[in-house]
């Protein structure tokens, strides 16, 4: 079993973005494999059997567009590759990335910390593309520009760069459907419930600022906001924050600050998000 496999999600035909990502990753000493993105730009979301539009309106507050469905399915496909490739960890990158500082060194330290001496890594997902902002607990000082690795149940909502353990990738595949919110929002919701999220106070991967090519066909207004959208949004944020706060407190009171007993401790108790997705 290898320690790490890296995948860059890239739409077919987006050669400039791939070339840019390649240059950044080569300079950082990070080998990768390209993953062809699921292109949902011209897709009717209702054609996707795994999309639950009623729950999307009820919980997220609006319908999803085809690009968002494509992004979600691309992340699912890469999670399957992580499992199938038999790696301890899989680093999933979007192709609009730039690299800050010693990304390879940060990766090595995070992986070393999360790899126990007597078995496989715990279920964990580490956001390396947006810094933690709230409800987090430092667990490791990284030898790079005063960076800390933190337990982060309020998972940052971006998919620029996410490091998955194989166990977490398997758990994500079990929980990923039905689709009723964009994948970054799902990971925040899921992480708040299971407590397996981690993040950094300063991240080595950042978005370039170019618009996503697989999620750019419609504006947010075009997908249609439900009645009481803002109430639904604030309810969702409140539920996520309360769940994350509970996980933070549980983590801080655990005996093992590395969190191996806490991380993944509830993955066999799947939360039925539908109970919290009823109409207002």
Give tens-digit pLDDT for 175-210. Answer: 999 999 999 999 999 999 999 999 999 999 999 876
How far is 195 from 254, CA to CA, in rounded Å?
13
Instruction: List the structure tokens of 247.
Output: 């996980």
Instruction: List the structure tokens of 164.
Output: 């998955």
pLDDT of the residue at 228: 78
How far is 52 from 274, CA to CA, in rounded Å?
11
Q: How confident is the model at residue 105 (pLDDT cuts 50, 70, 90)?
A: very high
Give tens-digit pLDDT for 148-179. Answer: 999 999 999 999 999 999 999 999 999 999 99
Distances from the Cα of 197 to the Cα of 33, 60, 150, 188, 273, angstroms: 24, 21, 9, 8, 18
Write down the pTM of the prediction: 0.88
Total domains in the fold of the chain: 1
Residue 56: which CATH number?
3.90.550
CB under 8 A, 24+ apart: contacts of 219-224:
220/62, 222/65, 223/62, 223/63, 223/64, 223/65, 224/62, 224/63
Give start and end residues of each alpha helix (H) in the chain: 15-28, 53-55, 66-84, 103-114, 166-175, 183-194, 229-252
Greater confidence (211 vs 273) lies with: 211
Q: How confident is the model at residue 145 (pLDDT cuts 50, 70, 90)?
A: low
Note down the domain range covering 142: 2-276
Q: Nearest to residue 92, comparing CAs of 205, 241, 211, 213?
A: 205
pLDDT of the residue at 69: 97
Distances from the Cα of 156 to the Cα of 16, 25, 143, 165, 241, angstroms: 27, 22, 22, 17, 12
Give start and end residues of each alpha helix (H) in 115-182: 166-175
> What burial class does residue 217 get, using C-beta atoms within 10 Å of its C-beta: 0-12 exposed, 13-18 middle, 19+ buried?
middle
Helix axes 229-252, 183-194, angle to 10 degrees: 40
Mean pLDDT over 9-29 rounds to 96
Q: How confident is the model at residue 239 (pLDDT cuts 50, 70, 90)?
A: very high
């Amino acid at each position: 079993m290898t320690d790490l496999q890296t995948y860059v999600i890239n739409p077919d035909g987006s050669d400039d973005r791939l070339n840019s990502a390649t240059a950044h990753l080569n300079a950082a000493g990070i080998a990768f494999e390209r993953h062809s993105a699921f292109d949902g730009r011209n897709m009717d979301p209702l054609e996707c059997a795994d999309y639950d539009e009623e729950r999307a309106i009820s919980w997220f507050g609006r319908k999803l567009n085809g690009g968002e469905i494509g992004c979600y399915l691309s992340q699912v496909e890469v999670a399957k590759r992580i499992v199938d490739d038999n790696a301890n960890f899989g680093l999933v990158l979007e192709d609009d990335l730039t690299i800050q500082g010693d990304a390879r060194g940060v990766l090595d330290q995070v992986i070393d910390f999360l790899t126990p001496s007597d078995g496989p890594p715990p279920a964990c997902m580490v956001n390396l593309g947006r810094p933690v902002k709230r409800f987090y607990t430092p667990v490791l000082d990284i030898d790079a520009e005063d960076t800390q690795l933190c337990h982060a149940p309020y998972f940052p909502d971006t998919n620029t760069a996410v490091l998955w353990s194989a166990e977490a990738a398997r758990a994500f595949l079990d929980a990923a459907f039905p689709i009723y919110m964009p994948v970054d929002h799902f990971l925040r919701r899921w992480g708040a419930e299971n407590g397996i999220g981690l993040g950094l106070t300063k991240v080595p991967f950042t978005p370039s600022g170019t618009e996503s090519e697989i999620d750019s066909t419609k504006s947010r207004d075009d997908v249609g906001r439900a009645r009481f959208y803002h109430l639904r949004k604030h309810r969702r944020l409140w539920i996520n924050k309360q769940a994350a706060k509970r996980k933070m407190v549980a983590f801080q009171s655990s005996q093992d600050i590395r969190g191996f007993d806490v991380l993944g401790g509830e993955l066999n108790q799947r939360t039925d998000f539908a109970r919290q997705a009823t109409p207002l």
